[in-house]
Every structure is written in C-alpha cells, then in structure tokens.
Amino acid sequence: MTVVTSSIAPPEGVFVPVPTFFKSSPVPPALQAPLDIEAQIQHSIHLAKNGIRGLVLLGSTGEAIHLSREERFELISGVRKGLTEAGFLDYPIMAGVLTNSVDEALEWLADAERAGAQWGLVLAPGYFGAAANQENLQEWYTLVADSSPIPILIYNYPGVTNNIIVSLETYTKLAAHPKIVGCKMSHGNVSHHVQVSLDPTIDHSKFRVFSGFGQQLGPIVLFGAAGVIDGLAAIYPRTVSRLFDLAAKRPVTPEALSEIQLLQFAVSRAEEMVGKWGIVGIKEGIYQVLKIGNLQGGRLPLKGRMPKGEWESWSVAMDAMKKLEEV
C-alpha cells in the first residue's frame, strides 16, 4: 500500500518509537519467534486513540536491525492497514532506516514508502564514526535525500553510531534541503536541541526538531522544538501528550506552567526506568500496564524480561504515571 506524500514536515507533537512485537516462540524451522502483527496493530491503535501524533516503526526501539527485509515490509504495511481499518486514515508513520550504505538506505526508504510510511528516520552512518567528518555526513545525507521517494529526518543517536555528533552547522546546511524535513536528537545536549529549534536561518515550518528523550520535552518545546519521539509514551501516551500540549500552547499561563512542572517531574522520574532497561523495560511496561504483547523481550541478544521484582521496584514512579493517565 502506498500513501501519497509530498516533502512536508511531520506534524508537531509526541511520536512513539514503538517496539516490535514478537510471538512467544519460533515456528520450526525458523530459529526466532515471528512478528506478532496483531499485537503491533492493537498497540498502534491504542496510541492513536490516546493523543499520540504519530509512530516511528522500525527505529532503534523497533529492532529494525534484527528483522529481515520481508519482515520490515510486513510490519509497516500491517500497521498501516490496521490503522486504516480502525479509521485512522493517513495516520503519521516514520520508518527507521538503520544502515550505512547509501544504496541500501535508499532500498529501505523505497520499501518503507511502498509499505505506507510517509517519512524515513535515517540514522547517521556510524560504523566508521571516528573517521566520519561533517562534510562527508552532509554529502551522505544529501545523496540519500536527493533520491529518496519520501522526505527524511536526520537521526543522531551517538550511543549506536560510535559517538557521532551531528554539528549545528550540519543541521543548518541540511535543513535547507527540500526533502530533509527534521531531525531526532537522541542525546542529552539540550543546547543543541534549543539552538537548532531557534536558529533564525532555518525555516521551522519545514524542518522540525524532535528529542528522543521525554525528560527533555518541557524544556525544549518551550523553546521551539517540535516534540519528542519518546519510549515512555508507548506505555503512558495520554500523560506525555498532555505535557506536550501544555508546553506548546502560547502564552504559557502561570497555571499551565505549574502543571507542566508537575507532569515533567512525573515523566522524568518514570523515564529513569526506560533509561535503565531500554527495549526490555518498554515491553515489560506495555505488558504490565496495557496487557499487550508478552514478556519475552526482543530478539537476541535482547531476549528476556526484567528480573523478578524489578518492575515492582519502580512502583512509586509508575503508580504516579498511572494516576495521571487516568485523569
């Protein structure tokens, strides 16, 4: 299924980097458990119904590197079909592109467009991260964007790319490309988020800045960022979305600021679990709170669940989030 797109920026708001759901056990002769498309669709519809502005499928949290080309297409097309049948026509979907080759990145993007994604979230090529200078990064992204069938966002995640940091100057130059429509910064440098969000030489209606951390939501959105692509929102979508809505509204009244501070504290505290446990923790939370999926974790080497009693040890933070989610 193909969704007609143009080079427009993704909408502002909270996106969720959804984990990929797998069945509990392999079906011989397969060595690993297959995709659980039914659970994937169930979770996606829940998010769409509860304030989430869009999905990131097959990003880092989605374990795209653990899936085959056929599985990646099946997942995107399955979610697109499920959302459409549930009444969420043209619901925003970004597809992760986690490969270092220009040609292979374009292959991923072509598949994503054919499956129904409107944007590609393209990871900085980091295998030779220590040797990658900013000029080469700019050329790499320009080559990909020039030939991509869908608009792309720059994905800077130093933790999985040998500590590549996309420079402020690189963002400014690439933001001028008509098919590069935003970025996701998955690092703790709030100054970079704010500087790119406020750069007067960038057209911010066409280039949107997202953080990968809900801990930064309030601070960066108050200073012009477009939103977050946040893992905790996979568990508590209404609360994280409420925090965004308050932070994005202008003017910010004293009453709204008080609620922003309350929500940001609760979100940041709960994000500590996501920071510690990553994909395994997000999947555990989805199962414990939403009863979707299972406790098998991801694919090797991410298979397994939290140790016994670990989820319960986060009860203060998670109980607070649960109460906020029910308001």
Residues spanned by the domain of 57: 13-238
pLDDT digits (tens, 9 = 90+) for 168-200: 999 999 999 999 999 999 999 999 999 999 999
Neighbours of 69 (CB within 10 A): 11
Q: Is residue 222 part of a domain?
A: yes
CA distance 205 to 222: 16
Distance CA 164, CA 211 (A): 16
Tell whether 120 is covered by a domain: yes
Per-residue pLDDT, averaged over 149-159, amounts to 97
Please give the biggest Cα pair distance in the chain. 61
Please indicate, yes or no, if residue 272 is contained in any of the structural domains: no
Q: Could you give the CA distance from residue 93 to residue 15 in angstroms, rounded to a whole number?
A: 9
Q: What is the pLDDT of residues 16-52, one digit of tens each?
A: 999 999 999 999 999 999 999 999 999 999 999 999 9
State pTM to two decimals: 0.95
Can you name the residues that pair with 122 across neighbouring β-strands? 97, 154
Tokens of 181: 């429509």
Determine the 3-state secondary structure of 121 from DSSP. strand
310 inside domain: no
C-alpha to C-alpha distance for 314 and 242, rounded to whole angstroms: 22
Residue in the structure block whose two tokens are 């939501």: 217
Q: Is 27 left (phi over 0), alpha (psi -120 to 50) or beta?
A: beta
Q: What is the pLDDT of residues 85-123, one digit of tens each?
A: 999 999 999 999 999 999 999 999 999 999 999 999 999
**Would you say residue 215 lies in a domain?**
yes
Tell me the C-alpha distance between 112 and 119, whole Å: 8
Does residue 171 lie within any of the structural domains? yes
pLDDT digits (tens, 9 = 90+) for 220-269: 999 999 999 999 999 999 999 999 999 999 999 999 999 999 999 999 99
> How would you label 288-303 residue by residue, b for 16+ Cβ within 10 Å and e otherwise?
ebbebbbebbbbeeee
End-to-end alpha-carbon separation of the chain, Å?
37
Is the sign of the CA dihedral 130, 134, 139, 145 positive or negative?
Answer: positive
Residue 131's pLDDT band (cuts 50, 70, 90):
confident
Average of per-residue pLDDT across 146-172: 97
- 1 pLDDT exceeds 70? no
The total number of structural domains that make up the chain: 1
- Residue 7 clears pLDDT 80, i.e. is over it: no
| Integer angstrom CA distances of residue 273 from 35, 157, 206, 316, 324 | 25, 19, 34, 11, 17
CA–CA distance, 216 with 170 (Å, rounded to integer): 22
pLDDT at 267: 98
- One-letter identity of residue 188: G
- By three-state DSSP, how is residue 31 classified? coil
Q: Give tens-digit pLDDT for 233-245.
A: 999 999 999 999 9
Q: What would the two tokens of residue 61 be?
A: 């949290």
User: What residue has token string 């994909």?
Assistant: 279
Active site amino acids: 184
Considering the domain boundaries, does residue 213 fall inside one? yes
Q: Is residue 274 part of a domain?
A: no
- Cα separations in angstroms, 216 against 43, 191, 264: 24, 11, 9
pLDDT attached to residue 129:
85
Q: Is the peptide bond before 29 cis (omega within 30 degrees of 0)?
A: yes
Q: Which residues contact 251 (CB under 8 A, 6 or more apart)?
A: none
Tell me how many degrees the CA angle 77-19-51 measures, rounded to the nearest 5.
Answer: 80
**Contact predicate 219/263, CB 8 Å:** no
Q: Of 34, 26, 41, which Cα lies nearest the Cα of 79?
A: 41
CATH number at residue 103: 3.20.20.70
